Structure 1
Amino acid sequence: MIMRAAGPADAAAIAGLLAASWRDAYAALLPPALLAGKRDRLLPEWQALLAAPPGIIRVAEEAGVLHGMAALWLRGEDAYLDSLHVAPSGRGGGLGRRLLAEAMWEAVAAGARRASLRVIEGNDGAIRFYTRLGGRVGAPEAGEVAGHPVRLLRLHFDDLSALVLAAR
């Protein structure tokens, strides 16, 4: 498995990976209509993001097939994990941890010291994943996904170096 920086040519593969991951992870949390056609709605967004990345976007690829991706945005000493997705068939094998460790290590090198992310309330697998790595769960907050109201949990990592070590 090759871990590398994502580029503009990866937009379609990232949109496809995210759509498959969302259909699998959020089937019980979001309406089917929102999950249908997700790839086509994500493609223009990722084309724009990859044209001028606001942070670090890493992909895991093997034989030309994308198996996972991590995207985080940098804001001074803070890193915001926007996306961490592994293809449904590849979950549970450590790829998510490896991607997270690589992306966060780059963030540390860029001066980040803390990290946060948001998870849809009820996404218990993701919450367990991040809390096992030292994430601290904050209070629920109102949010929305494509106009659909959801409850979100913000997770905080006060020491990014400790997160990198835990993920490795």
Structure 2
Amino acid sequence: MEYRIRPCAASDCPQLLGMIRALAEFEEMPEQVAIGVPGGVLLGYGLFFVTHSTRWGPSLYLEDLYVAPPHRGKGIGSRLLSKIAEAGVEAGCRRLRLSVLDWNESARRFYGARGGQEETLGGWDGGGPRCFVFRGEALTALAGPPPGVGPARPEGP
């Protein structure tokens, strides 16, 4: 079989989502793919997984949290993050970790405003990704409904 490696295109998204779900099912973690979908329109997604720390035990790592630009500022990212934290608490995780690009000030404000503590290890030049951690009460609070945001509407008619 011949194949080539190429950048992902928008037309690949249905198949890509299928692969992400298949991988999550293979790893026996299908609940670890969360998306915000009103009326069948994908607004954002969160990609996360459970890790283990010798110091903290089971932990959740948030690889990606993305909300499409036209839908930002509407509480969707907060709801996704809350649902991800809830999954971690239910799985017995004691912390949630994530990294933010050092230039992404809005993401740094977003996580900091929700109780994330910055624990950054800089590169040789002092730059590098900014690491955020939610532990204990900060994680438990994050797993509840975001402040000022009502519950997500149930799916279906």
Report the TM-score when normalising by structure 1.
Answer: 0.64
Could you say if the C-alpha distance between residues 109 and 93 of structure 1 is closer, same or farther in structure 2, counting changes exceeding 3 Å? Answer: same
Q: Rg larger in 1 or in 2?
A: 2
**2:43 maps to what in 1?**
67
Q: Percent identity?
A: 29
Q: 1:139 aligns with which of 120, 123, 127?
A: 120
Name the SS of the counterpart of 1:70 in structure 2.
strand
CA RMSD of aligned residues (A): 2.4
Which secondary structure state, in structure 2, belongs to the residue aligned with residue 71 of structure 1?
strand
Structure 2 segments unaligned to the other structure (5+ residues)? 1-6, 53-57, 148-157
> Deviations for 1:106-144, whole angstroms, at most 9, x for unmatched residues?
1211111201000000100000000001111122444xx
Moved runs in structure 1, 4+ residues, more than 4 A?
A: 42-47
Instruction: Quote how far apart the aligned CAs of 1:166 are.
Output: 6.9
Which residue of structure 2 aligns with residue 128 of structure 1? 109
Trace 1:35-50 onto structure 2 (pairs within 5 A): 39=9, 47-50=18-21
Looking at both structures, which has the greater relative contact order when contacts are Cα pairs under 8 Å and sequence separation is at least 6? Answer: 1
Q: How far did 1:45 drift?
A: 6.5
Q: Which of the residues 57, 63, 66 maps onto 1:82?
A: 63
| CA 1:39–1:153: 2 relative to 1, 3 Å | farther
CA contact (8 A) 1:135 1:155 kept: yes
**Count of matched residue pairs:** 124
Structure 1: 5+ residue runs without aligned partners?
1-36, 143-149
Shift of 1:81: 0.6
Measured at CA, do residues 132 and 88 of structure 1 come closer, stay the same or move farther in structure 2, by a change above 3 Å? same
Task: Give per-residue Cα distances to partners, 1:46-75, cap 9 Å, x unaligned.
Answer: 554321215511111122210111121112
**What TM-score results when the alignment is normalised by the length of structure 2?**
0.68
